[in-house]
């Protein structure tokens, strides 16, 4: 489903050049639930942003659902993004002035889907996350856990090939976090492909597979820790320009 080979992402400012990702290799197969962990600044969000076709990368190759997206321009990338990817963010990112059902319909509007089909898909997605009774509520009338479930319904409504979650329980207390994780596990059992970025190792342990990132690279965590137990504290490298 997702195949990254020798991917690189360099951020350049006047003073420094930061390799957020370097020689980044990862393959996620259809139906997998993968958690990506790593210390602050290791490149997790950069990886997710590129995986979700929100940003271009500096080198290497990325294949999504069998399509090489490496050389695509912004328009082509956003078309594929709208069709194939569902996002779940830490901050939910619901629109406060729209009710729950209308929020779920937003990405379907971007696809140019007709009103009747949008409503049908949004209603089904809301039922999927167990919140049918809240269709007409506004985000502020819901708990954090319920808002995240709505955001998951919004991600699901487009029937994406790949669900990308960035710290999906980061803004939730532990019982709400558990229920959101229960939902992700359930979606995975039903066949969804999920890649979740988190710094929470306990949460990550509930995924099917863990991938650890240090200094912009996927590492074999067990082997690295045997060599240097302090590695978990590592930061990404900022290289001074000459
Ligand atoms: N727009 C940017 N411009 C310059 N440097 C950036 C930019 N975005 C990220 N970086 C740098 O790239 C590196 C990786 O950042 P990234 O946000 O991907 O890490 P992270 O693992 O998600 O961190 P955290 O867990 O703290 O969110 C960091 O050194 C960061 O400072």
- Supply the mean pLDDT for the chain: 89
For residue 13, the ligand 1 atom closest to its alpha carbon is: 4
**Is the model more confident about 129 or about 235?**
129
* Ligand 1 atom 28: residue of nearest CA: 41
**Is the model more confident about 234 or about 27?**
27
Contact between 236 and 42 (Cβ < 8 Å): yes
Instruction: State the average pLDDT over residues 188-215.
Output: 91
**Is the model more confident about 240 or about 144?**
144
Measured from the Cβ of residue 156, the count of other Cβ atoms closer than 10 Å reads: 23
> How far is the centre of ligand 1, averaged over its atoms, from the C-alpha of 225 (Å)?
23
Instruction: State the average pLDDT over residues 51-65.
Output: 94
Pocket test for ligand 1, best of 9, 20, 199 (most atoms within 8 A of CB): 20
Q: What is the pLDDT of residues 95-131, one digit of tens each?
A: 999 999 999 999 999 888 999 999 999 999 999 999 9
Query: Looking at the predicted structure, is the pLDDT value of residue 237 above 60?
Result: no
Q: What is the pLDDT of residues 144-193, one digit of tens each?
A: 999 999 999 999 998 899 999 999 998 888 888 888 899 899 999 989 99
Query: Looking at the predicted structure, is the pLDDT value of residue 199 above 80?
Result: yes
Is the sign of the CA dihedral 93, 95, 99, 103 positive or negative?
negative
- pLDDT more than 70, % of the chain: 93
Pocket test for ligand 1, best of 11, 196, 237 (most atoms within 8 A of CB): 11
**Is the model more confident about 112 or about 86?**
86
For ligand 1, say whether the CB of 49 is within 6 Å of any of its atoms.
no
For ligand 1, say whether the CB of 58 is within 6 Å of any of its atoms.
no
What is the per-residue DSSP string for the chain?
A: -EEEEEEEEEEE-SSEEEEEEEEEEEEE-TT-EEEEE--TTSSHHHHHHHHTTSS--SEEEEEETTEE-TT--HHHHHHHHHHHEEEE-TT----TTS-HHHHHHHHHHHTT--HHHHHHHHHHHHHHTT-GGGTT--GGGS-HHHHHHHHHHHHHHT--SEEEEESTTTTS-HHHHHHHHHHHHHHHHTT--EEEE-S-HHHHTTSSEEEEEETTEEE-HHHHHHH-GGGGG----EEEP-
* Ligand 1 atom 14: residue of nearest CA: 43
Query: Looking at the predicted structure, is the pLDDT value of residue 233 above 90?
Result: no
Query: Looking at the predicted structure, is the pLDDT value of residue 77 above 50?
Result: yes
For ligand 1, say whether the CB of 38 is within 6 Å of any of its atoms.
yes
For ligand 1, say whether the CB of 86 is within 6 Å of any of its atoms.
no
How confident is residue 221, by pLDDT bands cut at 50, 70 and 90?
confident
Task: Give the model's pLDDT for residue 52.
Answer: 95
Task: Give the model's pLDDT for residue 232.
Answer: 56
Domains recognised in the chain with CATH numbers: 2-93+160-240 (3.40.50.300)
Pocket test for ligand 1, best of 18, 196, 215 (most atoms within 8 A of CB): 18
**Is the model more confident about 99 or about 222?**
99
For residue 197, the ligand 1 atom closest to its alpha carbon is: 22
Chain centre distance of CA 74: 19
* ipTM confidence: 0.95
Measured from the Cβ of residue 241, the count of other Cβ atoms closer than 10 Å reads: 9
For ligand 1, say whether the CB of 50 is within 6 Å of any of its atoms.
no
For ligand 1, say whether the CB of 144 is within 6 Å of any of its atoms.
no
Measured from the Cβ of residue 213, the count of other Cβ atoms closer than 10 Å reads: 23
How confident is residue 238, by pLDDT bands cut at 50, 70 and 90?
very low
Dihedral of CA atoms 98, 104, 108, 113 in degrees, nearest 10, equals -80
């Amino acid at each position: 489903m997702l195949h990254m080979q020798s991917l690189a992402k360099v951020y350049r400012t006047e003073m420094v050049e930061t390799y957020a990702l370097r020689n980044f290799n990862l393959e996620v197969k259809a139906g997998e639930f993968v958690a990506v962990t790593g210390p602050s600044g290791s490149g997790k969000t950069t990886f997710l942003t590129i995986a979700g076709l929100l940003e271009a990368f500096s080198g290497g190759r990325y294949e999504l659902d069998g399509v090489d997206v490496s050389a695509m321009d912004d328009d082509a990338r956003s078309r594929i993004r709208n069709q194939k990817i569902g996002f779940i963010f830490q901050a939910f990112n619901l629109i406060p002035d729209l009710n729950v059902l209308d929020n779920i319909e937003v990405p379907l509007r971007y696809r140019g889907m007709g009103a009747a089909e949008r409503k049908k898909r949004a209603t089904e997605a809301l039922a999927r996350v167990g919140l049918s009774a809240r269709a007409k509520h506004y985000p502020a009338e819901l708990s954090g856990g319920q808002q995240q479930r709505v955001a998951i319904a919004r991600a699901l409504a487009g029937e994406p090939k790949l669900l990308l979650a960035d710290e999906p329980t980061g803004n939730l207390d532990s019982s709400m976090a558990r229920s959101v994780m229960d939902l992700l596990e359930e979606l995975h059992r039903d066949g969804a492909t999920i890649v979740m970025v988190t710094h929470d190792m306990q949460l990550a342990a509930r995924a099917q597979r863990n991938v650890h990132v240090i200094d912009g690279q996927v590492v074999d965590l067990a082997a690295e820790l045997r060599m240097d137990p302090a590695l978990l504290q590592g930061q990404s490298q900022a290289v001074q320009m000459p």
